Amino acid sequence: MFLLVIAALLLVFAGSAIQSEAVVDVSIGIGLPPLVFAAPPSVIVLPDTFGVYAVPDIDAELYFWNGWWWRFWDGRWYRSRYYDRGYLQYYRIPAFYYDIDPGWRGYYYDRHWHGHRWDYEPIPHSRLHANWRNWNTNRYWERQRTWGVQGYQPRPQSQRREIRQQRERQYQQRPEVQKYRREVQRPQRQEQRREVQQQKQHQGKPEKGEGKRRK
């Protein structure tokens, strides 16, 4: 009997957890504009990155990295296992993002990467999902193909760190990022004000029985 009661309680808790996850999924996806594709999109691998792929011919930032599709929109980051659905908000800046050259799309249209011919290769969706793990493990695009950039040498690690820091500062200055930061900080400040007011009110009240003892 005791084991039956425990099992019933576990089922109740599991059902509550599933229900709460469903609510989170629905609420986080609100407001994110859908991306419509006639077919699964092809990608290109971005030079000077470790396995970062981009969808170039759309008016949106859509990347594939480490098994996830990543979208940047309105100062927020979202990720999904699928390119066209199931996006949930990601509350940090993806680790790969500062490796991306902000001017990559212009280099893509010019077919040149910092003075070198860029013979990028469109990678079909099916090929990407079948091979990205091995490519990451072997660093295929960097070591064997130099990302399709002719006569190009990867930047030294020290230079990459400096460039990442510079791009981080530029990212923080983007208007949509600053707007989102203000939206996040506003309720935090309001909560802090309420806590300060509650502390002042509590300090101004005498302890129970204190007034009687003074008489």
- Pairwise CA distance, residues 76 & 54, whole Å: 18
pLDDT of residue 184: 82
Distances (CA, A) of 9 to 12, 13, 21, 141, 198: 5, 6, 19, 52, 38
Closest of 39, 73, 40, 67 to residue 53, by C-alpha: 67
Distance (Å, whole) CA 54 – CA 100: 10
Domain ranges (residues) in the chain? 24-154
Would you place residue 182 in the very low, low, confident or very high pLDDT band (cuts 50, 70, 90)? Answer: confident
Q: Which own/partner contact pairs does 65-70 have at CB distance under 8 Å and 24+ positions apart?
A: 65/94, 65/96, 66/96, 66/136, 67/132, 67/133, 70/94
Distance in angstroms (rounded) separating the CA atoms of residues 123 and 45: 8
Q: What is the DSSP letter of 215?
A: -
Reported as a pLDDT band with limits 50, 70 and 90, residue 179 is confident
Residue 16 sits at φ, ψ, to 5 deg, of: -65, -40
181-190: Cβ within 8 A, 24+ apart: 181/75
- Per-residue pLDDT reduced to its tens digit, 82-124: 999 999 999 999 999 999 999 999 999 999 999 999 999 999 9
Report whether 61 contacts 115 (CB < 8 A): no
186-201 per-position pLDDT tens digit: 665 556 566 656 666 6
Q: What is the pTM of this model?
A: 0.72
From the list 2, 153, 112, 58, the residue with the least C-alpha distance to 72 is 58
For residue range 116-153, what is the model confidence (pLDDT) as tens digits? 999 999 999 999 999 999 999 999 999 888 999 999 98
Choice between 130 and 9, residue whose per-residue pLDDT is larger: 130
pLDDT of residue 18: 34
Which is it for the CA torsion 59, 60, 64, 65, positive or negative?
positive
Is 70 exceeded by the pLDDT of residue 206? no
pLDDT: which is higher, 103 or 14? 103
The residue assigned the tokens 């983007």 is: 174
Residue 129 DSSP symbol: H
In the block, which residue shows the tokens 């000077």?
48
Tokens linked to 27? 């609420």
Residue that has been written with the tokens 């609420």 in this structure: 27
